[in-house]
Chain A
Amino acid sequence: MAFQILLNFFIAVVWMFLSSSMTVTTFVIGYIIGLILLIMMRRFFTESLYFEWLWAAFKLTLLFIRELTLSNIDVLRVVLRPKLNIQPRIFALPTELKRDWEITLLSSLITLTPGTVVVHVSDDQKTLYVHAIDADDVQDAIDSIKNTFEKAIKEVSRP
């Protein structure tokens, strides 16, 4: 992926030399030409193209912002309810993610989702222990949210 970006950059620089004008506009045109060339040559790369990865990362960012807003409204409702009828619970959540940064990202996302805070990551990095603020109605909803997050992170890490 880094190689593809570097190649695209290189093609843009070559384009700047070919047209012998060192301006930003020429660079941008060269970059777009490099992008088209990369798309045409995509079957020679073992990985998929880098802007697919960029698109997945962008989708993950949007998901993150949406979940942050939703979780804040959720906390607002819990806090401002006149009677405090919460049922906290710590539950185990198995994860399939392997690399360190993926697990860090997943636990950050879980911490910012409605009603959950990660308390502990097990030593073999296969289970996350999550504190949920409301056990009965959140449990199923949370599992589905985890699936969307885990899927989005997988899309980013192995496109």
Chain B
Amino acid sequence: MTVIANTLIVLTIVVGLLFTVVTVIGVLRLPDVYTRAHAASKSATLGVLSILVGTFFHFWLNEGYFSVRILLGILFLFITAPIGGHLMSRAAYFSGVKPTELTVGDDLAEVVERAKKEKQIN
């Protein structure tokens, strides 16, 4: 029983660490703010999530303490992380940060242009 518990804990924490490291590499390697938002908003979520799950299992199975706070933390992370990624990329777009040269298409640019023109007319 202890062996199974410890395997579970080690596995989840190692997966979490792996994804956190991938997040860091992604933020360093990817060319612009939008592609970095991909790496940061996804891998960081699952990374921190699995570390929290590992901690939860450790305290539950080895110490006999059922921590509801860790579960609530997981829930809050699930709700807030994608919103954070969305807001940062949106703020970057509307303050005029250009996407990389690799970008092949942009449907949002014309909408923003039209909105600007309408504002000038009014």
A79 to B42, CA, bound (A): 12
The distance from the CB of A133 to the nearest CB of chain B, in whole angstroms, is 5
Interface string of A17-37 (1 = CB under 8 A from B): 000000000000000000000
The distance from the CB of B107 to the nearest CB of chain A, in whole angstroms, is 4
Q: Which B residues are in CB contact (< 8 Å) with A84? A: 29-31
A131 near B22: Cβ-Cβ < 8 Å: no
Which of chain A's residues 66-86 have a Cβ closer than 8 Å to chain B? 68-69, 71-72, 75-76, 78-80, 84, 86
A90 near B99: Cβ-Cβ < 8 Å: yes
Interface string of A99-116 (1 = CB under 8 A from B): 000000001100110010
B107 near A90: Cβ-Cβ < 8 Å: yes
- What class of interface size applies to chain B in its complex with A? 35 or more
| Chain-A contact segment, one of B2-10, B55-63, B64-72, B83-91 | B83-91
B86 near A119: Cβ-Cβ < 8 Å: yes
Q: Tell whether B13 is near chain A: CB-to-CB under 8 Å.
A: no
B103 near A88: Cβ-Cβ < 8 Å: yes
A133 near B107: Cβ-Cβ < 8 Å: no
B38 near A75: Cβ-Cβ < 8 Å: yes
Contact of B25 among A71, A79, A122, A135 (CB under 8 A): A79
A119 near B89: Cβ-Cβ < 8 Å: yes
Which of chain B's residues 22-52 have a Cβ closer than 8 Å to chain A? 22, 25-26, 29-32, 34-35, 37-39, 41-43, 45-46
Quick one: given A112-B82, A117-B85, A117-B86, are A71 and B108 in contact (CB under 8 Å)? no
Which of chain A's residues 109-147 have a Cβ closer than 8 Å to chain B? 111-112, 115, 117-120, 122, 129, 131, 133, 135
B43 near A88: Cβ-Cβ < 8 Å: no
Q: Which B residues are in CB contact (< 8 Å) with A80? A: 22, 25
User: Which label, helix, strand, loop or mixed, suits the secondary structure of the A interface?
Assistant: mixed
Q: Which residue of B lies closest to A104 (CB)?
A: B83
Q: Tell whether B96 is near chain A: CB-to-CB under 8 Å.
A: no
> What are 22 contact pairs spanning A and B, CB under 8 A?
A68-B45, A68-B46, A75-B42, A78-B38, A79-B22, A79-B25, A84-B29, A86-B35, A87-B102, A90-B34, A90-B99, A91-B105, A92-B107, A108-B86, A112-B42, A117-B37, A117-B86, A119-B86, A119-B89, A129-B108, A131-B34, A135-B105
Chain B interface (Cβ within 8 Å of chain A)? 19, 22, 25-26, 29-32, 34-35, 37-39, 41-43, 45-46, 79, 82-83, 85-86, 89-90, 93-94, 99-100, 102-109, 111
